[in-house]
A and B are shown apart, each in its own frame.
Chain A
Amino acid sequence: MSSLKDSITKTNTLLGQSYLKPQGKSVKKRALALMITSLVDAFSILVIYLLFGPALSGESIDPNLGIQLPIAYQSQLSEQNNILIVKKDKFILNHKEVNERSLVGELKKSVEKLSKEKKNSLVIVADKNYDIEKLNPVLIAASEAGLNQLQLAVEHQGE
């Protein structure tokens, strides 16, 4: 009986030895040290998540562009595709500014280039307050470039 009691005491002592057996240092100091260790662990996990989390969860647009996307609940998350940003009569196709006249040619080029990688759709990004008729040249150019499927960018909201 006494041996069992001894073993329990030993186990408890091992689990929380800094609290039960301070051994020279004060209990408060030891407890603080332990808290900092776990805090460092938690902070490290947070840093890793913040570094890689947004990159892993789909496409995002540059907030400096000042484009406010409309909210949609039935949207799918975007994959790597041809991205055409339409802003103030400017067309930015895959980070490269193109004018309206060369839009068809540039679209054809990028479609051919990305069709080898099986990414042959076009994502159109525009501000929610943008006039829809200003997208007409894009729709016509995409049709001429052989793109029958279009993807219109929205802010993804899960239902």
Chain B
Amino acid sequence: MRSEAKDLDFEINLLPILSVLSICICFLLTTAVWNQMGFIGVNQAIGDELPTNGKVPDSVIFKIQSNGYYLIQWKRGSDSSIVSEKKIPTRPNKSWTSDAIQKEISSFVLGTKAKTVVVMPDVGVKYGQTMTLLDQLKRLSVSVGLAPAIKFDSKPGVKI
């Protein structure tokens, strides 16, 4: 009776289990992908669809220039005339901090009361640069459209 009870009282050697788990953790830590992929939703800015009531709303166009500036234009919907425009740097410099750039963008866009903003990158502008602007615009809760990149100087219609 006593020997049966002794047989049931066994011990599991935990040290090899611990070693295996340590190796597993090391392997998983080194191979894990920590960066989460997110996305910024944009509308296509290609096409000639007009609102059904015929009244074209005002729009704000952000031209990302390859020389490191945004040219922001407030265009009247009815005749595409430029109401006002502003040029601000894309990156912070001695006179522009990143907060000042963000503030300028938001004050311009919110001042126009436009619900749609179209982003037009110049040829040579990087994907990351465009994403930085889209990220800033998303904070303003406006609908953002992305147009294909064009060379501003060569096209007479979009010369700045």
User: Count of B residues near A, CB < 8 Å?
Assistant: 44
> A-B contact count, CB below 8 Å?
166
B86 to chain A, nearest CB (A): 22
Tell whether, in the assembled complex, residue B36 and residue A132 are in contact, meaning their CB atoms are under 8 Å apart.
no
Q: Which of B111-146 contact A (CB under 8 A)?
A: 121, 123-132, 134-135, 138-139, 146
Distance between Cα atoms of A140 and B44 in the complex (Å): 9
Stretch among B16-24, B74-82, B93-101 lining the A interface: B16-24
Q: Give chain B nearest CB distance to A78 CB in angstroms.
A: 5
Give the residue of A39, A43, A128 whose beta carbon is less than 8 angstroms from that of B128.
Answer: A128
Kindly supply a per-residue 1/0 record for chain B positions 23-47, scoring 1 wherever the CB is within 8 Å of any chain A CB and 0 otherwise.
0110011001111111111111011
The majority secondary structure among interface residues of chain A is mixed
- Cβ-defined contact, B148 with A78, below 8 A: no
Q: Do A133 and B139 have beta carbons less than 8 Å apart? A: no
- Secondary structure class of chain B's binding surface, majority of residues: mixed
With A and B bound together, what is the CA distance between A49 and B18 in angstroms? Answer: 16
Give chain B's interface residues, CB within 8 Å of chain A. Answer: 14-15, 17-18, 21-22, 24-25, 28-29, 32-44, 46-47, 121, 123-132, 134-135, 138-139, 146, 148-150
Q: CB within 8 Å of B: which residues of A?
A: 33, 36-37, 39-40, 43-44, 46-47, 50-51, 54, 57-61, 63, 69-70, 72-78, 121, 123, 125-133, 135-136, 139-140, 142-143, 147-156
Please name 19 further chain A to chain B contacts, defined as beta carbons within 8 Å, in addition to the given A46-B25, A72-B135, A121-B41, sorted by A numbering. A36-B15, A37-B14, A43-B18, A43-B22, A59-B37, A70-B132, A73-B135, A74-B138, A75-B39, A126-B127, A130-B126, A132-B130, A143-B44, A149-B44, A152-B42, A152-B127, A153-B38, A156-B36, A156-B37
